[in-house]
Amino acid sequence: SRKGPAITTNLDDSNLRFRHEIMNEKVIEATVTELPGVIESMNRDHWRALPSSMSYGNELVVAHPGSNVVAEVTRNKRLTTEVLGNTMETTSTSQRASDGHRRMTTHIVRKITTLTQAEEQAQADNRIRQNRDVKKTEIGYLRMGSQDSKRAKISDIVVGQEDNLTAREALLRWARRSTAKYPGVRVNDFTGSWRDGLAFSALIHRNRPDLIDWRDSRSRRPRERLEQAFHVVEREYGVTRLLDPEDVDTNEPDEKSMITYLSSLYDVFPEPPQIHPLFDMESQRRVQEYRELAQQLLYWCREKTSLLQERAFPTTLIELKRLLSDLNRFRSEEVPPRQRDKQRLFTIYKELEKYFESIGEVDVETELRPESLEKAWHRLMSALADRDMILQQEVQRLERLQKLADKVQREYKHTETVITKIETRISEESRRIERLHPVEAKNIVEGLESDIRHLEQPLQEMNDDCHSLKDGRYPQAGDLYKKVTKLHQRWSQLRTTFHTSLVQKLSGLSYPVQETTITKQTRVVTETRQIGTNPYFRDVQEYTEWCQSKL
């Protein structure tokens, strides 16, 4: 393999990565400035804090104060080579420059042949940790105030996530973040989501838009896209092609191979740029403007729909009519401006669709797209129509109940007046009935009895109407029912008073009864006379017969 140039760092190997490929290497060169007099002025307790020995590959490095090893490392030029197993080789060079600074260069070569990705990671971690411990022993106290190096992990790419996030989950989240907002790209796994090559093209374009033309890539066939993506990263970054297009464009791609290759891409593109290359500033501004306006309209529709679906109506007719008036005002004053906002949003979205026609769909959440807004608007209009219909029905129902209640009130007042008059008459007649002629007293009692009997039907009708008001949930139904019940009790008491004050007194009166008998008799008197014997009647007889013949 070809060895690359050394990289000058502050000896912080937190970003050290070993690419999972055959005969691959990384070189780290570190320059540390020695501070004069540091070792001499150090407290010996600090030296005792260092471990007395550490494992370094297949050798043991002793780190006692003043030992030959530390003295050689810090004061003399020495070339050492440590073999860390069959797959790793480390070469370290330490020397003092003429200006008093110390320069240390470490070359680490890792060669992977048949290990799986999981085994590779485990061995790599162990070996990197051993190498780091040795370097801390050699120069730990020469780097005053420096921070401890941290081992880089794939899970570090997802900031702020839970500590138990696995490397596989972290790599998947990194892939999603690196391909976000690309039309037609949905990374859900390490197999089928990458089959058509769009995800690979999006990942490269997100970090290096100069390497891949996204519009051209979308027009290619899947295997052409895969070939282009693999070739570009191999040419520009030296990422070995562990996969061929036909290995990915299959029903069951090898997941382990995909994870290994994507881990190599993460080494190249650990964090996507903040500015998305697919959209210019103006288009992003327009999309953001559409998104904000659409959210406002959607939230307004949802809020108003929830309020319109409320069915806790007031029980009085006045308050119900006020609700109906508010609903009509909402329909005439608030709905039209929002409808204009909706039409404006649809116009903006059509313009965005036209702009993004060549690169894909508009990057807007599904719930904010015109079809979703139209559904929300339709639900709002349906809720508005339903509420209007229900309020109209409630108003009509309460109006009918109000008319029925008014009728009960009128009947109640009339019946109450009649009962009061009858009570007064009974009181008056009871005081003078004994002085009246029995016939006159009898006529008075019969008249009062008829008046009392005629009150029974109105009282029954009022009672039935009160039950109807209660069934219709009329607010004052209970009060009316109590009043009618009391009136019925007065009527019952009136009948009792009438019986005790008049009827019983009338039954104690005695008076003569004059009877007149008329006999009709009919008597028949028969008188026989001879007409013919009387000459005076002879002419009369003839005249009579003539008259009868003319009739």
519-548: pLDDT as tens digits: 666 666 555 555 555 666 667 677 777 787
Looking at domain 404-507, its CATH class is: mainly alpha
Task: Write out the residue limits of the CATH 1.20.58.60 domain(s) in the chain.
Answer: 281-399, 404-507
Angle, helix 370-432 to helix 456-471, in steps of 10 degrees:
160
The 10 Å Cβ neighbour count of residue 94 is 22
CATH number of 281-399, picked from 3.30.56.10, 3.40.640.10, 1.20.58.60, 3.90.25.10: 1.20.58.60
Phi, psi for residue 224 in degrees, rounded to 5: -65, -40
CA angle 245–250–256, rounded 5-degree value: 80
The Cα 197–Cα 206 span in angstroms is 14
What secondary structure, in 3-state letters, does 258-272 show? HHHHHHHHHHHCCCC
Task: List beta partners, residue 107.
Answer: 27, 91
Q: What is the pLDDT of residue 307?
A: 95
Give the mean pLDDT of 124-149. 33
Q: Look up the CATH architecture of domain 167-268.
A: Orthogonal Bundle (1.10)
What would the pLDDT profile of 150-202 be if each residue is shown by its tens digit? Answer: 334 444 444 444 556 788 999 999 999 999 888 889 999 999 999 999 999 99
How distant is the alpha carbon of residue 391 from its chain centre?
27
At 504, the pLDDT band (50, 70, 90 cuts) reads confident
Q: What b/e sequence results for 337-374 when a residue is b if at least 16 CB atoms lie within 10 Å of its CB, and e otherwise?
A: ebeebbeebeebbeebeebbeebbebbbeeebbbeebe
* Nearest in space to 21 (alpha carbons), one of 167, 319, 293, 239: 239
Cα–Cα distances (Å) from 225 to 195, 197, 499, in that order, read: 10, 5, 111
- For residues 379, 383, 389 and 391, what is the CA-based torsion angle, rounded to 10 degrees? -170
Q: What is the pLDDT of residue 434?
A: 78
What letter would DSSP give residue 32? E
Task: Write out the residue limits of the CATH 1.10.418.10 domain(s) in the chain.
Answer: 167-268
Give the mean pLDDT of 47-58. 33
Phi, psi for residue 268 in degrees, rounded to 5: -85, -40
The Cα 152–Cα 154 span in angstroms is 7
Contact 102, 94 (CB under 8 A): yes
Contact 297, 370 (CB under 8 A): no
Provide the total of helices (H) and of strands (E) in the chain, helices listed first.
Answer: 19, 7
Could you tell me the two tokens for 481? 């029912």
Q: What is the pLDDT of residue 429?
A: 85
* pLDDT tops 50 at residue 274: yes
Q: What is the pLDDT of residue 324?
A: 94
The Cα 54–Cα 40 span in angstroms is 23
Which of 80-94, 163-177, 326-340, 379-393 shows the lowest per-residue confidence on average (mean pLDDT)?
A: 80-94
Which of 116-125, 136-145, 264-273 shows the lowest per-residue confidence on average (mean pLDDT)?
A: 136-145
Give the mean pLDDT of 271-291. 83
Which residues, other chains included, contact 309 with Cβ-Cβ below 8 Å and sequence gap of 6+?
A: 383, 386, 387
